[in-house]
Amino acid sequence: MAQKLVIVESPAKARTLNKILGRSYSIKASLGHVRDLPRKSLGVNIDKDFTPKYVIPQRKRKVIRQIKEAASKASSIYLATDPDREGEAISWHLVAAAKLDEDKVPIRRVVFHEITKEAVEKAFKTPHAIDINLVNAQQARRILDRLVGYKLSPLLWRKVQRGLSAGRVQSVAVRMIADREQKIQDFNPKEYWTIEVELAPLEEPQAKFRAKLIASADGTKLNICDENKANKIAADLEKASYIVKSIRTKQIARQPAPPFITSTLQQEAWRKLHFTAKHTMAVAQQLYEGLPLGEEGSVGLITYMRTDSTHVAVSAIAEVRNFIAKKYGEDFLPSKPRAFARKVKWAQEAHEAIRPTKIYREPGQIKSFLNRDQLKLYQLIWKRMVASQMSPALYDTTNVEIQTNHVIASEAKQPQGYLLKAASSVVKFPGFITVYSETKDEEEQGGFVSLPELKVGDRLSYWGTFPEQYFTQPLPRYTEATLIKALEQRGIGRPSTYAPILSIIQERDYVYKADGKFYPHELGLIVNSILKQHFPKIVDFSFTAQMEEQLDEIAQGKQEWIYVLRDFYSPFEDMLSKARLAIAKVDMSKPTDEICPNCSRPMVIKVGRFGKFLACSGYPECKTTRPFVVKTGIPCPRCGGELVQKVNKRRQVFYGCSNFPQCKFATNYKPLPQPCPECGKLLVLDRDGRTKCTACQYKAKLAKLGSEREEAI
């Protein structure tokens, strides 16, 4: 009996489906896209309604042969690629590349948002045809990006340097980072002072607390802009008497955050786990596609990780509420299930939020089957989902206003003085924070103090004044979390694009990350300036967001993709023509103190395909080049030579000995000048910013292996 053929993208997904579907199904993996536009040419016929020319990459031809062979023996074909535009396009390309429609075998599209027995079986009972609207939306995005990349990039090569690229969305992200940096550099800090006063009830001098000066007695806001003014007010406060003017108490309910969508998962994984967006999506992909859990076999642990919807299936909500009632009690369960309004304009409600496929599969129960990063991310997703259906956290807050009387004028009807404020917040009922709280919620807890029992009219004793000098701060530089949030708020990019955007702009050397924050390279600033001046629409926030909306409308069948491309290309071609004449050649080389060993002319720093290098200023007469290295001043632990910073062909920074190739010591971690206090060897800074000694770690590992062998014997 002929088997039914199922085609998915990855071998991991194939293994999980194989367990669910059984022997009557043969499952093949396409290993991603099987057709694409050619690498070395535009591949789009602009004169014929932007007709794309798709080719099968050499590395995918064997995959196509295997799929075609399996299809010829199959009784039916099921296309089970991912439930988004990319997945729909992969299915469409598979049919064309392997000529599946020529075998007169029924071809069906199946879609599921979690790889569980129930979801997969339901999908196979309700197959449908390929959604050509989703395919066209993906085609339009791909062609738009190709037009921008292949038309703009050669221009940047000629005018700036070889190897550059421009992208419809990546260029906007670079602009956001560059514009933010410009604002930071232009920022003029202004001095200001805050003043706190330490007070206590007359009857309880030990119950001290601090109140913050907020205004004069009549409510006029104080602007304390220099030390003289701060000292004058501090002197007034030292002589003042203090009385409790008002006390306001109320209960505040803090509601939990919705379950994750792609952008919020990437943001919170960066804030809490220090995972990059790219790493977050890679780990989430593993959790979605399935991991072996002992006797359970391969199981999909979370729903599909590329989504912009906070919708959760009714059955999943019921399961979560049942779990909460059993584990935490009825007090932690709201009377009604909580529903979250979608915040993303074009969210697809057919998709679900990112959640565990089975809430009773607690992180602690499966930790032995997951690696460290898989467990961390699964735990984050699990906690967020459980918390989203729990009762709100209740806080008792107290706000106390304190009046001072430092001048009593006989002719004045009202005493003059200042107004101070103190606040306290006490958790009355923990609710959802028993399980999970957003990072920003935890940060907001600052500013509260512990207050003694007070009544209106109580007089307070003075114990000290504490003026503090501050300076206004510029906007902070973007982190991965805040950049993704800003892109999403502006409507730029979609769930599948955030991680690639952040990776590309770093790989192109337009921006770099230091201490978790994005900084523009000089190259990024130059390219951004050129694009803003000559291609304003390409880096315009509202125009880019509008293009995203048009792509979404194509996916919904509300727009024709060819018309969208026409509307874009005509003004774009006009901008290109003008820019070719207007943009002057930019010299990116930088002088150095190095002398060319062959002709004695100065060496200059240039940037090539693999980053910076030293080249003779006499080029093309002298073509001498040398690697560019950054000295660290730290001795090599192996030979005593100096460690230098280098960049490999993948543009990854590493540190190696300057005596290479005689000494081949290298490390991916940043070396530190101080030696290890335990063994005196090299200390390094790992990716999480922690100091460690690799020599001590290696020694401890050997000792552990030795003790384990002794126990085994």
d(CA 487, CA 263): 9
Give φ, ψ of 100 to 5 degrees.
Answer: -65, -25
Count of other CB atoms within 10 angstroms of residue 351: 20
Nearest Cα residue to 96 out of 145, 147, 41, 33: 33
pLDDT at 83 over 80: yes
Is the distance from CB of 42 to CB of 21 less than 8 angstroms? Answer: no
Distance CA 579, CA 380 (A): 48
Task: Give domain limits for the chain.
Answer: 4-130, 139-186+477-582, 191-255+394-471, 262-388, 589-628, 635-713
Is 70 exceeded by the pLDDT of residue 709? no
Question: Annotated catalytic, 304?
Answer: yes
Q: Is residue 389 within 8 Å of residue 435, measured between CB atoms?
A: no
Report pLDDT digits (tens) over 180-195. 999 999 999 999 999 9
Distance (Å, whole) CA 197 – CA 188: 30
Of residues 25, 242, 288, 304, which has the active-site annotation? Answer: 304
Helix locations, 240-369, DSSP H: 262-273, 277-289, 314-328, 363-366
Q: Judge whether 388 and 412 are in contact, CB under 8 Å.
A: no
Q: How far apart are CA 13 and CA 28, in angstroms?
A: 10
- Prior bond of 661 cis (ω within 30°): yes
By the 8 A CB rule, do 169 and 144 touch? no
Closest to 628 measured CA to CA, from 607, 642, 609, 599: 607
At 402-451, the pLDDT tens digits run 999 754 444 444 446 899 999 999 999 999 999 998 765 444 444 567 89
Q: What is the dihedral of CA 183, 184, 185, 186, to 10 degrees?
A: 50
pLDDT above 70 covers a percentage of the chain that reads 92
CATH architecture of 191-255+394-471: Distorted Sandwich (2.70)
Decide if 398 contacts 451 (C-beta within 8 A).
yes
- DSSP-assigned beta bridge partners for residue 340: none
Looking at residue 444, its pLDDT comes to: 45
Tokens of 159: 């005018």
**Cα separation of 382 and 354, whole Å?**
9
Phi, psi of 66 (to 5 degrees): -65, -40
- Output the pLDDT for position 440: 52
User: Of the ranges 230-239, 288-297, 408-417, 700-709, which one carries the lowest mean pLDDT score?
Assistant: 408-417
Structure tokens at 612: 């910076």
Given a cut of 50, is residue 157 above it in pLDDT? yes
Q: What percent of the chain has pLDDT over 90?
A: 71
Instruction: Choose among 50, 5, 2: nearest CA to 567.
Output: 50
Arithmetic mean of pLDDT, 460-472: 95
Q: What is the mean pLDDT of residues 33-58?
A: 95
Q: Is the pLDDT of residue 523 over 70?
A: yes
Q: Assess contact for 526 and 159: CB atoms under 8 A.
A: no
pLDDT value, residue 411: 41
At 708, is the pLDDT very low, low, confident or very high (cuts 50, 70, 90)? low
Task: Identify the pLDDT of residue 622.
Answer: 94
Neighbours of 534 (CB within 10 A): 18
For 590, the token pair is 């930088």
Is 642 strand, coil or helix?
strand
CATH topology for 139-186+477-582 is Topoisomerase I; domain 2 (1.10.460)
Whether the pLDDT of residue 169 is over 50: the answer is yes
Is the pLDDT at 307 greater than 60, yes or no? Answer: yes
pLDDT value for 413: 46
The pLDDT tens digits for 263-297 are 999 999 999 999 999 999 999 999 999 999 888 88
Q: Distance between CA 111 and CA 118 in Å, rounded?
A: 13
Helical axes 277-289 vs 11-21, angle rounded to 10°: 20
- Cα separation, 204 vs 225, in Å, equals 35
pLDDT of residue 162: 77
Assigned token pair, 42: 């535009």
Q: For residue 8, list its beta bridge partners.
A: 29
What average pLDDT does the chain have?
A: 89
CB-count burial class (<10 Å; 0-12, 13-18, 19+) for 584: exposed
Q: The domain 4-130: what is its CATH number?
A: 3.40.50.140
Report pLDDT for 496: 87
What residues form DSSP beta bridges with 7? 28, 79
Token digits of residue 636: 């090599």
Taking the C-alpha atoms of residue 234 and residue 220, their distance in angstroms, rounded to an integer, is 17
**Which 3 state secondary structure label does DSSP give 101?**
helix
pTM (predicted TM-score) = 0.84
Q: Tokens in use for 186?
A: 């232009």
* Spatial distance between the Cα atoms of 434 and 708, rounded to a whole number of angstroms: 38
3 state SS of 416: strand
**77 bridge partner residues:** 5, 107
Q: What are phi and psi of 217, to 5 degrees?
A: -60, -30
Sign of CA dihedral 587, 593, 597, 602: positive
> 204: which 2 tokens?
């309880």
Q: Quote the pLDDT of residue 704.
A: 63
User: What is the residue-wise DSSP string for 456-499?
Assistant: TT-EEEEEEEEEEEEE--PPPPP-HHHHHHHHHHTT-S-TTTHH
The first and second tokens of residue 544, run together, are 């880019």
d(CA 309, CA 344): 7
CA-nearest of 663, 660, 630, 628 to 644 is 630
Q: Note the pLDDT tens digit of each residue in 653-681.
A: 789 998 988 999 988 888 988 888 888 88
**Would you place residue 342 in the very low, low, confident or very high pLDDT band (cuts 50, 70, 90)?**
low
Structure confidence at residue 454 (pLDDT): 94
Average pLDDT, integer, range 138-164: 90
Q: What is the 3-state secondary structure (H, E, C) of 346-371?
A: CCCCCCCCECECCCCCCHHHHHHHCC
Q: What 3-state DSSP class applies to 629?
A: coil
- Gap between the terminal Cα atoms of the chain: 53
**What is the model's pLDDT at position 687?**
61
How large is the average pLDDT for residues 73-96?
95
Classify domain 262-388 at the CATH topology level: Topoisomerase I; domain 4 (1.10.290)
Give the DSSP per-residue string, 655-673.
EEETTTTT---EESSEEES
What is the predicted pLDDT for the residue at 408? Answer: 40
Range with the poorest average pLDDT among 158-172, 252-266, 283-297 = 158-172
**Strand duo 298-299 + 291-292: pairing:** antiparallel
